[in-house]
Structure 1
Amino acid sequence: MPFAVDRTVPGLIVKIGDYPLHHGGVGAIRSLGRLGIPMYAVTEDRWTPAALSRYLERAFVWPTTGMERPERLVEGLLRIGRAIGRPAVLLPTDEEAAVLIAEHADTLAGEGRFLFPRAEPGLPRRLASKQGLYELCLDHGVPTPSAAFPDSYADVKEFAATARFPVVAKNREAFERRRRPAVGGTTRITGPRELLALAAGWGPRPGVILQEYLPREEAEDWIVHAYFDAESAPPAMFTGVKVRSWPPHAGMTACAYVVDNPELAELAAQFVKRIGFSGIVDLDWRFDRRDGRYKLLDFNPRMGAQFRLFESEAGIDVVRAQHLDLTGRKVPEGEQRADRRFVVENIDLPALLAYRRSGYTTPHAPARASGTELAWAARDDMKPFFTMLARCVRPGAVHLYRRWRATSRSRRQQVAP
């Protein structure tokens, strides 16, 4: 290992909400755990993949929904910090956790329990909001798809009368997925009639963004992962191409490749510098071949689930960069390892089948990878993989069992005298 880490400072994976099959958390536990850094994690129960990693010192079972009062969540984190007994680097895996840490930074840092990058308290919430990000892009001259933010059904009708279809509807705030979302993820709308029919169910205050549709035949999906220090400078920055996602073209990354893109890296670095953000970022960009511009779709102010796709020649990923920086170590320089591939085993097969049917290909994806990083399977830590399989299979098995029981009961009733 060409760099020295502080093994007296552990890491804590912080998550809010119920999503036990999160490979990003497992990746962070392995990344720092392999360096000998003690790792802790908030988990939904004791049988999540993260909880069973060999590199985890302790799982703090703390089921949350994201609907709790912030004060309760902060106190829960402080209790965990007291149980760990020494300062720990916080690693949020979702927007709710990143926003909570930023907006209650003074309280969380007050007891000396946690280490984390300090950003302007309201900035992560703006970045996680579709409307907030859109406004920041306009303010700083960063290309982004044109969008409208209707506040009433009348606004939707006015938009429908003049809009160029198709358009895309998304929930305006990332937090809406914890409540009752207006739309179930990214929804492509083909015309005014379809839009008005959907809007009828959005209530008096639609919490949606109506966004310009970028045709996938004329676009490429790019990702940027980076860590920005207290000066908003990136000691670690990586670029790549998203080849497949699940659901197709609009969901979580299922397969991606490392591809050097200096132009995109510079665009991302300039934007983050202007807004003054510090910490790990996961950015989704779409290159629009019609006008030759990269357009920012999402700014996740925390580590992305696929961050282990990227590693420098010095062995640095964004999680290691943050730990080194926050513990006063220098982050070694190094080019990103080229042509690496990342595959999420449980979602890439259905994604692959769907993309083959659609005929879509990503022009910049390498013909072959020099190495593949799997989201779940690792020779030195296989329990998370098998736990993932068990949790994926179990719901289907339970459904089949109940269906068999119902069928058997019906047959017995039919033959009963």
Structure 2
Amino acid sequence: MSSSNALFTADRTVPALIVKIGNYPLHHGGVGAIRSLGRLGVPMYAITEDRWTPAAHSRYLRHAFAWPTTGREDPDALLDGLLRIGRRIGRPAVLVPTDEEAAVLVAEHQKELDGHFLFPPVAPELPRRLASKRGLHELCVEHGVPSPAAAFPDSYADVEDFARHARFPLVAKNREAFVRRERPAVRGTTRVEGPAHLLALAREWGERPGVILQEYLPREDAEDWIVHAYFDENAAPLALFTGVKVRSWPPHAGMTATAYVVDNPELAQLAEQFVKRIGFSGIVDLDLRFDRRDGQYKLLDFNPRMGAQFRLFENGAGVDVVRAQHLHLTGRAVPEGEQRAGRRYVVENIDLPALLAYRRSGYTTPHAPARPRGTELAWLARDDPRPFFTMLARFVRPGAEHLYQLWRSSRRAIAE
């Protein structure tokens, strides 16, 4: 979408900085944010792994700061690096975190960053708690929001005790998703078929398992939904969108490959009420699973930052969540409008393997429109083609090998 289609003007004197911590160069969300604000004339800057990161080649990017990080650095070192970048930009920039580590860093160091950057005010401890599987589950229980039943074993003995009475199958996930670990307990979401399988896995988790053991929601009885929104300092939604996930990669447990905008007032109200109760301010990306067995939307993930697929959502005035944040933090009104229902989003490099996997599994959602009302591609854009070709050059061999390994691991987890 070009800036001429937006029914508002942005403050072009205030730049924005895409903040990334960790090594994941093929991140289409960062490219989408650069394009979204860049098309409005906002000066765009980004932290990238190196100069061959696709985001670094966007025509809308003024400068890429090559700063390779892992997420295991000392927070003070990360803070110093971010402040150095702020001084190089030379004027306060709106921060747009693309991962939990970056969102937590900004929240926990607001005093040091104030005056150098613009960001929504939030309780310093809240993003870390929301990004934690345990913290999110506790908040859901506290505020009466449905979520899958969960256990948090602190030792192998706890796992043994849990295995005696647990209902299988279940899923195992890393407890602290926002901490990049050299050796995570499990590789993504792992389906566990029975007690013997669970105990075999637990032997590799060490003395203090960093896992959550969670109720399995059968895919034949469930639907995957997403909510993206921007909330102001009073936790009031200035932009809120709902959609349904049609495919993800790895299948049923990973990043969105294809999704549609679908109006869902019940889901929107649930998200709005929960955010109001916890008092969050900023951009959110929520993953929920609708359980047809009990008719409840169960909150799986609360990402306290921009989601990679945020460009799926836009209202009639041309507002997405990143634009809403920039408008609000620069003192401008955020135009209201209905979301563009039926709009489709496709991530080209992962949707083909996802399509093949979903055809094999037979999963479908009744909420996907028969025909999309417009499609947004994650990588390819007529007015900004270089990120797409840079992605292809970087993706083809290692990316194909990585997809193959993910495919094998997902099949093995199911088979076991």
Inter-CA distance 189–397: structure 2 relative to 1 (3 Å threshold): closer
Aligned to 1:52: 57
8 Å CA contact 1:223, 1:285 repeated in 2 = yes
Aligned to 1:365: 368
8 Å CA contact 1:345, 1:375 repeated in 2 = yes
* Alignment pair present for 1:4 and 2:9: yes
Deviation (angstroms), 1:394: 4.3
Aligned to 1:118: 121
Aligned to 2:161: 158
* Alignment pair present for 1:258 and 2:261: yes
- Matched residue of 1:183: which SS? coil
Deviation (angstroms), 1:5: 1.1
**Alignment RMSD (CA, Å):** 1.2
- Distance across 1 between alignment mates of 2:41 and 2:157: 58
Larger radius of gyration: 1
Tell me the alpha carbon deviations over residues 21-66 of structure 1, each in whole angstroms, 9 at most, x when there is no partner.
0000000000000000000000000011100000000000000010
Aligned to 1:196: 199
- Total equivalences in the alignment: 397
- Distance across 2 between alignment mates of 1:116 and 1:305: 19
Aligned to 1:89: 94
8 Å CA contact 1:257, 1:341 repeated in 2 = yes
* 2:297 alignment partner AA: Y
Aligned to 2:272: 269
Equivalent residue for 2:145, pick from 142, 145, 157: 142
Deviation (angstroms), 1:397: 9.7
8 Å CA contact 1:150, 1:209 repeated in 2 = yes
Q: Which runs of 5+ in 1 are unaligned?
A: 400-417
- Matched residue of 1:26: which SS? helix
* Alignment pair present for 1:237 and 2:226: no
8 Å CA contact 2:47, 2:65 repeated in 1 = yes
* Alignment pair present for 1:322 and 2:316: no
Aligned to 1:391: 394
8 Å CA contact 1:65, 1:178 repeated in 2 = no
Aligned to 1:218: 221
Deviation (angstroms), 1:179: 2.8
Q: How does 1:299-318 map to 2 (within 5 A)?
A: 299-318=302-321
* 2:394 alignment partner AA: R
Aligned to 2:176: 173
TM-score, length basis structure 2? 0.94
Deviation (angstroms), 1:396: 7.1
- Matched residue of 1:392: which SS? helix
8 Å CA contact 2:228, 2:241 repeated in 1 = yes
Higher alpha-carbon deviation: 167-176 or 58-67: 167-176
Q: How does 1:182-193 map to 2 (within 5 A)?
A: 182-193=185-196
Aligned to 2:79: 74
TM-score, length basis structure 1? 0.94
8 Å CA contact 1:17, 1:178 repeated in 2 = no
Inter-CA distance 288–85: structure 2 relative to 1 (3 Å threshold): same
